Structure 1
Amino acid sequence: MYKVLIADKLSNEALAIFKENGIEAITKTDLDAKSLIKELQDCDALVVRSATKATKEVIESCKKLKVIGRAGIGVDNVDLDAATSNGKVVMNTPFGNSITTAEHAITLLLSTARQIPYADKTTHEGKWEKSTIKGVEVTGKILGIIGCGNIGTIVAQRALGLQFKVIVFDPFLQDKRALELGVEKVTLDDLFKRSDFITLHTPLNEKTKNIVSKDSFKKMKKGVRIVNCARGGLIDEAALKENLESGHVASAALDVFVEEPPKGSPLLGTKNLILTPHLGASTTEAQEKVAVQIAEQISDYLKTGAITNAVNTFSLTAKEYQSVKPFLKLSSLLGGFAGQLTENAIRSVQIEFEGTATNVNSTPITQTIIYSLLKPTTESVNVINSVLVAKSKSISISEVKHQKENDYQSLIKLTVTTDKQTRSVSGTIFGGKARIVEVKGIKIEADLSEHNLYVSNQDKPGFIKDLSKILADNKINIATFHLGRLSSGGEAIAIISTDNKIENSVVESIKKIPLVIQAKYIQFKDKENE
């Protein structure tokens, strides 16, 4: 039975989903790092909201842990680099609280326009500030949105309904999509110069930290109003305070802060500044949605291998996973075969797809091939970090998809170039099993098992007799024997599956056969090709 630790408060509905899927779920909140590590030792999954920190120490100390689920969007409290390096999938729920957060942003935009909190406060105090509190209309005003993902898109749609003119800065927003939304795509500087209101909806990373900086405020209109419901750290808080006090910024509203809660922050008490305690996702509906979604996603992953809303690797629905699963087995076979034959530094890898293989998601296939290729020589590699590890080794990776006809319904060809040579190996799926069909341009159809011997040799009489004798003398039983050659008398290859392991001493004896070019024992411990 799989086991999940819920480290932050989650709804009972989520617990019920785990139970329905036969997964044991325990809830223990407010754990320090040491206690969290202890509780996770026998757990397959960890569920967090924003309070619990999945640090590098926690991740590296929990070998059994397979997946970390964040019930919400932001994953600032999860060390993604550590998770990726250690092969842990990190999932979030990007859609569960999108509407809620967008509505909060719109609420704050309108509040900054009409000074709602100040009007409420003074009225409660028995004052009547009707003549001194003057707001502005939003109709016809320019709203600048920084980041037009799920939440930014909803904000844009709501703002257009309020008759804002919406301009957007988002390097990943396609021109066609901007046209469909009815927004204008602009540069960041243009957004700062033109906007009457600005709202932020982008993740926090090295590129977006202090994206609204001291210099940014200098480019803005006098009287601009700013809202941040995304992440603390996107706005330079000291610069914001300075511009509020000078009147250059008419009003601002923050739901997120660099430090939360912002105790002792110089922002506290600043005039014309609305502060809310990270309420963006705090509605009954949103809390229920993200809890249910993360429970469903983790259950699917543990039971079927489906990866949904992953932030550090590919995502596959359960249906997609079933369609790509045979190709993942083939990928392990091709990568492992080439990796165990490769004896020099790899410079480049090319992966070609033909037939039905062109119709599946290539990302998990490529990651699996690279992992299996590097695994024999790289301790820290896993399926999730394989491409990053390859790039750190300056290995170039390319994918090519062919629509041309071939002898097989599906074909994947892996070409590995090293400092010394270029070698290719191709494979297909036949009868649900992965099969090698070409090595170095030589056609050969071979099933591989746990124990295999690869030999390249000159095609001359006597080779098979000498090889068979060595195997027989060492009591190695042959399961299958496959041969291929370029031409009569030219280079030939043999792929032999055996019932037992072939020791190095046996391989060295085979290498001494006069006609042998290369001999290698190839092992698949997990029988990836089955």
Structure 2
Amino acid sequence: MTKPKVLISDKMDPNAARIFEERGCDVDVITGETPEQLIARIGEYDGLAIRSSTKVTQAVLDAATNLKVVGRAGIGVDNVDIPAASAKGVVVMNTPFGNSITTAEHAIALIFALARQLPEANAQTQAGLWPKNGFMGVEVTGKTLGLIGAGNIGSIVASRALGLRMKVVAFDPFLTPERAVEMGVEKADLDTLLSRADFITLHTPLTDQTRNILSAENLAKTKKGVRIVNCARGGLIDEAALKAGLDSGHIAGAALDVFQTEPAKDSPLFGTPNFICTPHLGASTTEAQVNVALQVAEQMADYLVNGGVTNALNMPSLSAEEAPKLKPYMKLAEVLGSMVGQLTVDSVPRISIHVEGAAAELNQKPITAAVLAGFLRVQSATVNMVNAPFLAKERGLEVREVKTEREGDYHTLIRVSVKTEAGERSVAGTLFNNVEPRLVEMFGIKVEAELAGSMLYIVNEDAPGFIGRIGTLLGEKGINIGTFNLGRRAAGGEAVLLLSVDSPVAADVLDQARALPGVKTVKALSF
């Protein structure tokens, strides 16, 4: 089997390349290329490992004909066009925990630097001024720290601040009361935090909801003398409003490690009294750079070699341990979705995925993604588990997930139902020996069949002689029948026939089959 090929396009710890190789990937390390050079090269790679320099744009993705995964060694993925990657079916991963401690420590360091005006005191002392009486700092002990964002990094900052005997008030829409108690912080709304905090530090991603979260309006709500730290993302603070607050004295100090435009070479904040800045150093420690490089290599290799999905931003997580167990279920889900997609001619506003028994104990998100991939692949051969949920949402397809932990007639069952103009239609399947996908029901008719290769789906009146007629027709056309699977609602009623054949059936043969007495529907299927 051909090894997956990975390109490392930004400088990172050399051990990353070693991990790729040890885990079964071929790797090239080519850094510092122009966008045009990357576009010319990217088509031969299955994986792309980056830091912040490489920009994974629509143009890069269009040229990436074999690309399956982009791995960002770090947290921020502003340099990756995630919607375009999702539409292309490319997994985007980051390493949200590798530099968490480093970034949190940098925020704490900037809090101390602001509290004691360390950079300016250092500069004047080294200039021979000995300004002992010119700097009056504040203690952090007993002060209130306002934490905007209480995720991984924010929680580390909170623990360090509590160790410094600060009080911590946190604003985060996803912070539960139970988690706040566990962290030892007070959960509050944004206005409350702004009015009470002596120091404010931001630890939230940049989204439409968080952009300019510290706007001119919100900065005006802060306590006079507040000190503000941002080691998260540029764009969270209105920089012009921040400068105005510093100039007026309402804001006692600000420290930024990130800017709205980077590299920041001509910011209006430069030279402002009581302003400290660093050049995006939050993750810049030896330990952090090693950690994120090793983690991104491990994650990407697990995906390319074993199918494990960790820290993906556009696909459900699937650990390398889960992947082997889920693989047969995902195969079953995909063929059921494909069958429904191939047999449905009406528009479908809703699809439901119902898992029962053993399947209900598993991670359902990958099963749902596999169903959608099979269902939508009828419309486009480029659909996969990554872009299928994205495409379903884009098309306005409502997706429902249902779990029933009790066992029914089978120890495990997946049922896929679609709402059509003709009503609800469903197919169901199980696993034989826990690994072999089998269809067990379609459109209310019990029928057992293996779904693979080229098949014929026929609905006919249950009457003597039909099986002989369809067998004769196919035999005369030189089409060999592999398996023959029958089901019916009742004797003499509607019957379903599923045939596996050794070669695709031509259109004219399908027309002749439709013309046979008693035939209602004939359709060629491919799995």
- Is 1:438 aligned with 2:441? yes
Which residue of structure 2 aligns with residue 527 of structure 1?
Answer: none
| Overall identity of the aligned pairs, in % | 52
Given candidates 437, 447, 450, the residue that maps to 2:450 is 447
Amino acid of the residue matched to residue 514 of structure 2? K
- Residue 102 of structure 1: how far off its partner (Å): 0.3
Which residue of structure 1 aligns with residue 476 of structure 2?
Answer: 473
Return the alpha-carbon distance in structure 2 between the equivalents of residues 448 and 499 of structure 1.
13
Return the alpha-carbon distance in structure 2 between the equivalents of residues 437 and 351 of structure 1.
16
Given candidates 380, 387, 397, the residue that maps to 2:389 is 387
- Residue 379 of structure 1: how far off its partner (Å): 5.8
- Is 1:177 aligned with 2:184? no
Which 10-residue stretch deviates more, 383-392 or 437-446?
A: 383-392
Return the alpha-carbon distance in structure 1 between the equivalents of residues 390 and 12 of structure 2.
34
Matches within 5 A, 1:28-67: 28-67=30-69
Return the alpha-carbon distance in structure 1 between the equivalents of residues 376 and 38 of structure 2.
32
The answer to whether the 8 A contact 2:358-2:407 is kept is: no
Q: Please give the per-residue CA displacement for 1:374-428, whole angstroms capped at 9, x wherever unaligned.
A: 1112466432121222222222111111123312111000001112332100001
Which residue of structure 1 aligns with residue 341 of structure 2?
Answer: 339
Which residue of structure 2 aligns with residue 253 of structure 1?
Answer: 255
Return the alpha-carbon distance in structure 1 between the equivalents of residues 421 and 356 of structure 2.
27
Matches within 5 A, 1:26-175: 26-175=28-177
Which residue of structure 2 aligns with residue 23 of structure 1?
Answer: 25
Gapped regions of structure 1 (runs ≥ 5):
525-530
Amino acid of the residue matched to residue 100 of structure 1? T
Which residue of structure 2 aligns with residue 227 of structure 1?
Answer: 229
Which 10-residue stretch deviates more, 120-129 or 194-203?
A: 120-129
Return the alpha-carbon distance in structure 1 between the equivalents of residues 209 and 312 of structure 2.
21
Residue 102 of structure 1 aligns to a residue in which SS? helix
Given candidates 305, 326, 330, the residue that maps to 1:324 is 326
Structure 1 pair 235–319 and aligned structure 2 pair: CA distance change class (3 A): same
Which residue of structure 2 aligns with residue 194 of structure 1?
Answer: 196
- Residue 498 of structure 1: how far off its partner (Å): 0.9
Residue 454 of structure 1 aligns to a residue in which SS? strand
Return the alpha-carbon distance in structure 1 between the equivalents of residues 452 and 19 of structure 2.
39
Q: Please give the per-residue CA displacement for 1:182-202, whole angstroms capped at 9, x wherever unaligned.
A: 111111122112211110111
Give 4+ residue runs of structure 1 displaced > 6 Å after superposition.
none
Which 10-residue stretch deviates more, 507-516 or 228-237?
A: 507-516
Return the alpha-carbon distance in structure 1 between the equivalents of residues 260 and 21 of structure 2.
38
Return the alpha-carbon distance in structure 2 between the equivalents of residues 173 and 507 of structure 1.
59
Residue 324 of structure 1 aligns to a residue in which SS? helix
Residue 301 of structure 1 aligns to a residue in which SS? helix
Residue 18 of structure 1 aligns to a residue in which SS? helix
The answer to whether the 8 A contact 1:85-1:382 is kept is: no
The answer to whether the 8 A contact 1:410-1:429 is kept is: yes
Which residue of structure 1 aligns with residue 507 of structure 2?
Answer: 504
Amino acid of the residue matched to residue 50 of structure 1? S
- Residue 449 of structure 1: how far off its partner (Å): 2.1
The answer to whether the 8 A contact 1:305-1:318 is kept is: yes
Which residue of structure 2 aligns with residue 349 of structure 1?
Answer: 351
Residue 22 of structure 1 aligns to a residue in which SS? coil
- Residue 343 of structure 1: how far off its partner (Å): 0.5
Residue 44 of structure 2 aligns to a residue in which SS? coil
TM-score by length of 1: 0.97
Return the alpha-carbon distance in structure 1 between the equivalents of residues 497 and 195 of structure 2.
70
Cα RMSD, aligned residues only:
1.2
Amino acid of the residue matched to residue 418 of structure 2? V
Given candidates 12, 34, 37, the residue that maps to 1:10 is 12
The answer to whether the 8 A contact 1:5-1:39 is kept is: no
The answer to whether the 8 A contact 2:233-2:258 is kept is: yes
Return the alpha-carbon distance in structure 1 between the equivalents of residues 91 and 8 of structure 2.
16
Which 10-residue stretch deviates more, 8-17 or 355-364?
A: 8-17
- Residue 280 of structure 1: how far off its partner (Å): 0.3
Which residue of structure 1 aligns with residue 419 of structure 2?
Answer: 417
Amino acid of the residue matched to residue 227 of structure 2? R
Return the alpha-carbon distance in structure 2 between the equivalents of residues 215 and 320 of structure 1.
48
Amino acid of the residue matched to residue 482 of structure 1? N
- Residue 364 of structure 1: how far off its partner (Å): 1.0
Amino acid of the residue matched to residue 309 of structure 1? N
Return the alpha-carbon distance in structure 1 between the equivalents of residues 322 and 383 of structure 2.
25
Amino acid of the residue matched to residue 499 of structure 2? I
Amino acid of the residue matched to residue 235 of structure 1? I
TM-score by length of 2: 0.97
Q: Please give the per-residue CA displacement for 1:30-89, whole angstroms capped at 9, x wherever unaligned.
A: 111110112212111111111111111101111111111111111011110111110111
Which 10-residue stretch deviates more, 250-259 or 413-422?
A: 413-422
Amino acid of the residue matched to residue 220 of structure 2? K
Which residue of structure 2 aligns with residue 457 of structure 1?
Answer: 460
Matches within 5 A, 1:241-320: 241-320=243-322
Q: Please give the per-residue CA displacement for 1:271-292, whole angstroms capped at 9, x wherever unaligned.
A: 1000001110000100111111
Return the alpha-carbon distance in structure 2 between the equivalents of residues 404 and 462 of structure 1.
42
Amino acid of the residue matched to residue 441 of structure 1? G
Q: Please give the per-residue CA displacement for 1:443-498, whole angstroms capped at 9, x wherever unaligned.
A: 11111220111111222222222222221221111111011111112221111111
Return the alpha-carbon distance in structure 1 between the equivalents of residues 151 and 512 of structure 2.
62
